[in-house]
């Protein structure tokens, strides 16, 4: 296994990640800290996300480029949910014993590609050893009026932006060692391996939505986050949720023996956006999937009017997920 030192690793990262710098940072990789000039009159919106091997991913399911890409998109998705524009990112890597120089280059290339896609340069970071691969991405963005989780009001609609369930289906295919045979199944694998944060959609929700969150822990869980933060009851309408599901999900869920609705409720890593807002302000690219009522908690309203209490989703600290099947996810 190829050995390399810290100085060599920093030079490599500077080369691979540095191509996307220039705009934001006055001082980038190599000093004690990055220096950034921020425009006046904006709020700073700041988040951090970590992807740990064996917890959030297995390397046999992903290339290292994929690992780099999705760890970056997962972090920047929080900015999409706040309606913020990315400014810059820091990448803190924990590298396991024997991690080779070529592996670091592949990981960094995935990060750099995602950074380019999000127009969010990686301006610095940190390197450490550790027993398992870990990628911590901190992202700083700007917003005039950040979209919070706490603004939902009774009488509004619940909106879904983007696809849900595909990444969950892709993960199940990988976990069950099922080879993708159809375009729909390949789409599910791609959704899990190469998610894309909906930054321009998040920006488009500003001045329209009253609250927003990104769907990272599963629709069921994230809708509860909105309800709790806003102090309202959120009612998901089964008919509307099913209608909002991507076409590919039906066929793949049949092979998996899963209800597409369950995949959607449990699936988070597509990084769709969930928002609330008044009907008249709903963008054409947002789908209504329910409504906001007075009260607390989250219900799923069946076609016959019966209501089920919604539970499930991913608990980052639970050994096994609270959903019906075990999962390894963010």
Q: How far is the CB of 66 from its own copies (least distance, A)?
A: 19
Which of 130, 204 has the CB closer to its own copies?
130
Q: How far is the CB of 186 from its own copies (least distance, A)?
A: 29
- The secondary element (H helix, E strand) that includes residue 21 is none
Question: How far apart (Å, rounded) are the C-alpha atoms in residues 206 and 216?
Answer: 20
Q: How far is the CB of 179 from its own copies (least distance, A)?
A: 29
Which of 28, 110 has the CB closer to its own copies?
28
The beta-carbon contacts of 318-322 under 8 Å, at least 24 apart in sequence, are: 321/266
Which of 84, 167 has the CB closer to its own copies?
84
- The Cβ of residue 131 has, within 10 Å, a number of other Cβ atoms equal to 10
Residue 134 β-bridge partners? 52, 94
Question: How far apart (Å, rounded) are the C-alpha atoms in residues 236 and 300?
Answer: 5
Residue keyed to tokens 């904006």: 42
Question: Going by C-beta distance under 8 Å and a sequence separation of 6 or more, which residues neighbour residue 280?
Answer: none
Q: How far is the CB of 236 from its own copies (least distance, A)?
A: 20
Catalog residues that contact its own copies under the rule CB under 8 A: 4-7, 9, 26-27, 30-38, 40-41, 43-50, 52, 54-56, 78-79, 81-82, 84, 88, 90, 92, 94-95, 97, 123-132, 134, 136, 138, 140-141, 143, 146, 148-150, 212-214, 229, 315-319
Q: How far is the CB of 200 from its own copies (least distance, A)?
A: 17
SS3 304: coil
Question: Going by C-beta distance under 8 Å and a sequence separation of 6 or more, which residues neighbour residue 121?
Answer: 17, 20, 21, 22, 23, 24, 25, 28, 88, 89, 115
Which of 215, 245 has the CB closer to its own copies?
215
Q: How far is the CB of 98 from its own copies (least distance, A)?
A: 10
Which of 52, 117 has the CB closer to its own copies?
52
In the structure encoding, which two tokens stand for residue 83, read together?
């309606």
Which of 246, 312 has the CB closer to its own copies?
312
Q: How far is the CB of 325 from its own copies (least distance, A)?
A: 18
Question: How far apart (Å, rounded) are the C-alpha atoms in residues 293 and 299?
Answer: 10
Which of 56, 258 has the CB closer to its own copies?
56
Is 206 within 8 Å of 79 (Cβ atoms)? Answer: no
Question: Going by C-beta distance under 8 Å and a sequence separation of 6 or more, which residues neighbour residue 26?
Answer: 35, 36, 37
């Amino acid at each position: 296994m190829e050995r390399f030192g810290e100085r060599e690793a920093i030079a490599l990262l500077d080369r691979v990640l540095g191509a996307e710098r220039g705009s934001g940072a006055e001082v980038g990789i190599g000093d004690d800290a990055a220096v950034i000039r921020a425009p006046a009159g904006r709020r700073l919106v700041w988040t951090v996300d970590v992807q740990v091997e064996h917890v959030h991913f297995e390397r046999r399911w992903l290339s290292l480029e994929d690992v780099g890409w999705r760890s970056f998109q997962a972090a920047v998705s929080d900015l999409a949910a706040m309606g913020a524009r990315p400014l810059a990112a820091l990448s803190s890597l924990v590298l396991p014993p024997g991690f080779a120089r070529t592996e670091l280059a592949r990981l960094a290339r995935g990060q750099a590609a995602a950074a380019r896609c999000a127009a969010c340069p990686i301006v610095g970071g940190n390197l450490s050893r550790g027993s398992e691969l870990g990628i911590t991405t901190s992202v700083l963005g700007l917003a005039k009026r950040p979209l919070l989780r706490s603004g939902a009001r009774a009488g509004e609609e619940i909106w879904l932006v983007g696809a849900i369930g595909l990444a969950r289906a892709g993960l199940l295919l990988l976990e069950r060692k099922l080879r993708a045979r159809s375009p729909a199944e390949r789409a599910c694998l791609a959704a899990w391996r190469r998610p894309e944060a909906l930054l321009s959609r998040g920006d488009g929700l500003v001045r329209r939505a009253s609250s927003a969150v990104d769907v990272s822990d599963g629709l069921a869980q994230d809708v509860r986050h909105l309800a709790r933060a806003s102090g309202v009851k959120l009612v998901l309408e089964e008919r509307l949720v099913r209608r909002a599901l991507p076409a590919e999900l039906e066929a793949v869920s049949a092979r998996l023996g899963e209800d597409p609705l369950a995949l959607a409720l449990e699936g988070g890593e597509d990084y769709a956006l969930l928002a609330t807002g008044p009907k008249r302000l709903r963008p054409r690219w947002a789908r209504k999937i329910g409504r906001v009522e007075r009260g607390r908690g989250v219900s799923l309203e069946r076609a016959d009017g019966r209501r089920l209490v919604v539970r499930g989703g991913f608990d980052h600290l639970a050994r096994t997920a609270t959903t019906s099947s075990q999962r390894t996810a963010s």
